[in-house]
Amino acid sequence: MMIVPAGVKVHLALGVTDMRKGMDGLAALVQETLHKDPFSGHLFAFRGRSASMLKILFWDGNGLCLFTKRIDAGGFTWPRMTDPGGTITLTPAQLAMLIEGIDWRSPEKTWRPAKAG
């Protein structure tokens, strides 16, 4: 689980990204394609074509950090691309669901108590 500090935005890059890119390649993508500042402290999430890999780039104040996760079963839920080079903003709770492989757009509660006591 990733803890997102207050005031930090989570940007989900629309479309697919070449997952061979590392920190520098993703930072350049944030700056040149998404037209955002990779050193803002915000989180930038990317997904590959197969939907089984997720990368999150963020600046922690003194260096770039790269979180990578490969999911074993299923895939990461991503919106259909509407604008090339566009992003959407997620809440920290939606990011947590995304990282766990849960469909963050319409989560369902799986357990509800039958009765009190």
Dist. CA 49–CA 35, nearest whole Å:
22
Amino acid identity at 99: I
Work out the average pLDDT over 111-117: 73
Task: Look at the pTM and tell me if it is higher than 0.85.
Answer: no
- Output the DSSP codes for 2-63: ----TT--EEEE-S---TT--HHHHHHHHHHTS-S-TTSS-EEEEE-TTSSEEEEEEE-SSS
Mean pLDDT, the chain, whole residue set = 87
Q: How does pLDDT run across 80-102, given as a tens digit for each residue?
A: 766 667 888 998 888 988 898 88
**Domains of the chain: which residue ranges?**
10-99
Q: How does pLDDT run across 45-78, given as a tens digit for each residue?
A: 999 888 999 999 999 999 999 999 998 888 888 8
pLDDT of res. 110? 62
